[in-house]
């Protein structure tokens, strides 16, 4: 699969093999397409040269971010899908900048957050644990703009960051969610769908199977007082960051 680069170590390359069921030809094609995309998108320098000054305003309108680690040491990614207010987002930023921020966060996760988590856990961490809150999700969230943006994001994720998702818990699913889920499932590959768990109405026990209470935000039934704006986790510890080889973005938040 070519020379091992800073973005192509053994763990990185193995993700592409797993994503294509260890079919070497298909994995090579996927990897080559991803390297082409990285070059065209400017991904290798995105941690340094993209500045998302509207981050806090964006997160207030589309709450999302990393928050501590699960019981396996994986970073927890929380997203409140039902809170998206696309019209207000348009007043804060553009779709292209939203996509760039999304890619930048994936790069930060791969190059800063996961290495920090690996140091703390004492073993290699290369996947996340996600909590997707769909409270309030309805047909209003299936507008053309939202579907287009989510489709673009999911395509980028699946084609360029394969096998980074360990498990997803969907919480606060309303009765109409099954129709929404059917609509967005077409954007998600079958292997990823298998990692998705739709939690019961009382979701706290389900989350606590994966996450210790002190690593779960209070509003989700845990005891952590940190918010998504805080970006709380071992990647904020200067002593740990000093051991992370990538210097970019270490103090961005």
List the CATH number of the domain containing 114.
3.40.525.10
| Pick from 197, 207, 126: nearest CA to 165 | 126
H-type alpha helices, the chain: 10-19, 24-41, 46-49, 55-61, 86-92, 95-108, 114-121, 144-160, 177-185, 190-193, 204-208, 238-241
With b meaning 16 or more CB within 10 Å and e meaning fewer, what string describes 199-238? beeebeebbeebbeeebbbeebbbebeeebebbbbbbbee
Range of the domain at 18: 1-41
Q: Are residues 25 and 55 in the same domain?
A: no
Q: How many domains are there within the chain?
A: 2
Q: Are residues 210 and 141 in the same domain?
A: yes
Q: Are residues 30 and 55 in the same domain?
A: no
Q: What is the dihedral of CA 168, 169, 172, 175, to 10 degrees?
A: 70
pTM above 0.95, yes or no: no
Q: Is residue 253 in some structural domain?
A: no
Q: What is the pLDDT along the chain (253 residues), one digit of tens a residue?
A: 333 334 446 677 787 877 777 778 988 999 999 999 999 999 999 999 999 999 999 999 999 999 999 999 999 999 998 888 778 888 999 989 999 999 999 999 999 999 999 999 999 999 999 999 988 776 565 566 777 777 888 889 888 988 888 999 999 987 777 676 777 676 677 777 778 888 988 999 999 999 999 999 999 999 999 999 999 999 999 999 888 864 443 333 3
Q: Are residues 82 and 191 in the same domain?
A: yes
Q: Are residues 5 and 118 in the same domain?
A: no
Residue position matching structure tokens 């994720």: 157
Q: Are residues 67 and 105 in the same domain?
A: yes
Q: Are residues 5 and 127 in the same domain?
A: no
């Amino acid at each position: 699969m070519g020379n091992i680069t800073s973005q192509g170590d053994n763990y990185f390359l193995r993700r592409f093999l797993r994503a294509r069921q260890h079919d070497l030809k298909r994995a090579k094609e996927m990897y080559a397409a991803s390297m082409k995309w990285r070059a065209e998108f400017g991904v290798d320098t995105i941690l340094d040269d993209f500045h998302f000054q509207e981050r806090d305003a964006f997160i207030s309108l589309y709450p999302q971010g990393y928050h501590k680690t699960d019981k396996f040491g994986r970073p927890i990614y929380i997203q409140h899908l039902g809170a998206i207010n696309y019209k207000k987002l348009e007043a804060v930023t553009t779709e292209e900048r939203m996509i760039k921020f999304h890619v930048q966060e994936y790069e930060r996760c791969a190059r800063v957050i996961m290495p920090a988590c690996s140091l703390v856990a004492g073993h290699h961490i290369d996947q996340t644990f996600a909590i997707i809150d769909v409270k309030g999700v309805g047909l209003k969230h299936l507008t053309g703009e939202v579907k287009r943006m989510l489709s673009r994001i999911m395509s980028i994720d699946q084609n360029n960051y394969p096998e980074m998702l360990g498990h997803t818990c969907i919480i606060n699913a309303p009765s109409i969610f099954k129709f929404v889920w059917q609509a967005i499932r077409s954007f998600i590959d079958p292997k990823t769908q298998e990692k998705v768990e739709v939690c019961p109405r009382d979701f706290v026990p389900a989350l606590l199977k994966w996450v210790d209470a002190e690593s779960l935000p209070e509003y989700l039934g845990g005891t952590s007082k940190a918010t998504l704006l805080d970006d709380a986790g071992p990647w904020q510890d200067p002593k740990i960051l000093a051991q992370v080889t990538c210097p970019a973005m270490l103090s961005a938040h």
